[in-house]
C-alpha cells in the first residue's frame, strides 16, 4: 500500500480527525502501559481541544479472548486473581483517578466491532486522515485501522495512545499495522507542532 504524503504534511495540513475507541475506566484498568497511555491521551486530547480537531469516541462490544471464559470481563477477573497477591499500587490508583477525570467525552455505543457503521458521520467531517487511540491494540484498534485503509482513509495509529492487556500482542499489532498505516507517538506530534518536549 502507498501511504502518500509524509506524516508531517498530514499533521500540518489539518486534514485529520481523532478516533477514540473504548476509552473507559474498565478498559484502562486492564492495560499494561498506564503512564505512557495517560500522558499521550492527555496531550492529544489537549491538542484536539486547542486546535478544534473533531473527535469521534466509540465504545465497541466486548472482544473475544482466549481462555475458559471468552468474555473480556472473564479476562479481567482472571487478571484480578493473578495479581491479587499484591493488590493495586498507589501509582495505579492515581492513574485510574486521573483517567476517570479525563475520560469525560461523550461516547457512542456501537453494536458492531467496526466503527464504519458510522462511516457517514466520519465522512461528514470531510477529513481523510484518522488518528486512532484507545483499546485494545491487537483487536479493536487493528481491525478498525484495517477497515479504514480499505475504505480509502489514511489511518494513523498513536502508538503510546493505544494499549492492551498483553504487551507482546500490543507490539506485534503495531508492527503488523505499520504495513498499511502510519505509526507515530505523541512525541512526533509535539515535534511537528513545535511544543516543548
91 lies in a domain?
yes
CA distance 101 to 141: 23
Structure confidence by residue, pLDDT tens digits, 94-109: 888 888 877 777 888 8
Show Cβ contacts of residue 161 under 8 Å, excluding neighbours closer than 6 positions.
37, 40, 41, 44, 132, 133, 134, 185, 186
69 lies in a domain?
yes
pLDDT band at 178 (very low <50, low <70, confident <90, very high): very high
If one counts the domains in the chain, the total is 1
Which secondary structure element, helix H or strand E, spans residue 19, and what is its range?
A: strand 16-21
Whether the bond into 136 is cis, omega within 30 of 0? yes
2 lies in a domain?
no
CA distance 27 to 31: 7
Q: Are strands 154-163 and 55-59 parallel, antiparallel or unpaired?
A: unpaired
Q: Specify whether the CB–CB gap between 24 and 76 falls below 8 A.
A: no
* CATH code of the domain covering residue 184: 3.40.50.850
Which secondary structure element, helix H or strand E, spans residue 74, and what is its range?
A: helix 72-82
pLDDT band at 196 (very low <50, low <70, confident <90, very high): low
Q: Specify whether the CB–CB gap between 37 and 31 falls below 8 A.
A: yes
pLDDT, the chain, mean: 81
DSSP string, 154-187: EEEEEEEEEE-S-HHHHHHHHHHHTTTSEEE-HH
Tell me phi and psi for residue 138, to 5 degrees. -85, -5
Does position 189 have pLDDT exceeding 80, yes or no?
yes
Q: What is the pTM of this model?
A: 0.82
165 lies in a domain?
yes
18 lies in a domain?
yes
Structure confidence by residue, pLDDT tens digits, 107-159: 888 888 888 777 777 877 788 889 999 999 999 999 999 999 998 899 999 99
**Res 81: pLDDT:** 56
Q: Is 136 helix (H, G, I), strand (E, B) or coil?
A: coil
**Res 122: pLDDT:** 80
62 lies in a domain?
yes
187 lies in a domain?
yes
Q: Which of 44-53, 55-64, 103-112 has the highest mean pLDDT?
A: 44-53
CA distance 181 to 165: 22
pLDDT band at 1 (very low <50, low <70, confident <90, very high): very low
Mean pLDDT on 37-47: 91
**Res 40: pLDDT:** 93
Domain with 22, as residue range(s), is: 7-193
1 lies in a domain?
no
Does position 4 have pLDDT exceeding 60, yes or no?
no
Which secondary structure element, helix H or strand E, spans residue 28, and what is its range?
A: helix 25-30
Does position 51 have pLDDT exceeding 60, yes or no?
yes
Lowest mean pLDDT, pick from 18-27, 61-70, 113-122, 167-176: 61-70
Amino acid at each position: 500500500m502507498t501511504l502518500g504524503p509524509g506524516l508531517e504534511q498530514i499533521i500540518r495540513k489539518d486534514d485529520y480527525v481523532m478516533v477514540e475507541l473504548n476509552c473507559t475506566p474498565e478498559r484502562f484498568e486492564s492495560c499494561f502501559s498506564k503512564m505512557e497511555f495517560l500522558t499521550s491521551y492527555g496531550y492529544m486530547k489537549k491538542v484536539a481541544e486547542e486546535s478544534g480537531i473533531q473527535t469521534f469516541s466509540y465504545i465497541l462490544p466486548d472482544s473475544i479472548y482466549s481462555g475458559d471464559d471468552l468474555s473480556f470481563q472473564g479476562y479481567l477477573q482472571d487478571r484480578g486473581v493473578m495479581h491479587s497477591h499484591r493488590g493495586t499500587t498507589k501509582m495505579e490508583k492515581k492513574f485510574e483517578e486521573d483517567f476517570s477525570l479525563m475520560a469525560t467525552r461523550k461516547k457512542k455505543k456501537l453494536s458492531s466491532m467496526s466503527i464504519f457503521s458510522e462511516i457517514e458521520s466520519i465522512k461528514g467531517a470531510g477529513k481523510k486522515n484518522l488518528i486512532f487511540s484507545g483499546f485494545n491494540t491487537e483487536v479493536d484498534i487493528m481491525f478498525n485501522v484495517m477497515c479504514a485503509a480499505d475504505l480509502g482513509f489514511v489511518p494513523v495509529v498513536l502508538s503510546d495512545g493505544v494499549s492492551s492487556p498483553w504487551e507482546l500482542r500490543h507490539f506485534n499489532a503495531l508492527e503488523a499495522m505499520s504495513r498499511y498505516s502510519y505509526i507515530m507517538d505523541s512525541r512526533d506530534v509535539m515535534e511537528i507542532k513545535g511544543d516543548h518536549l
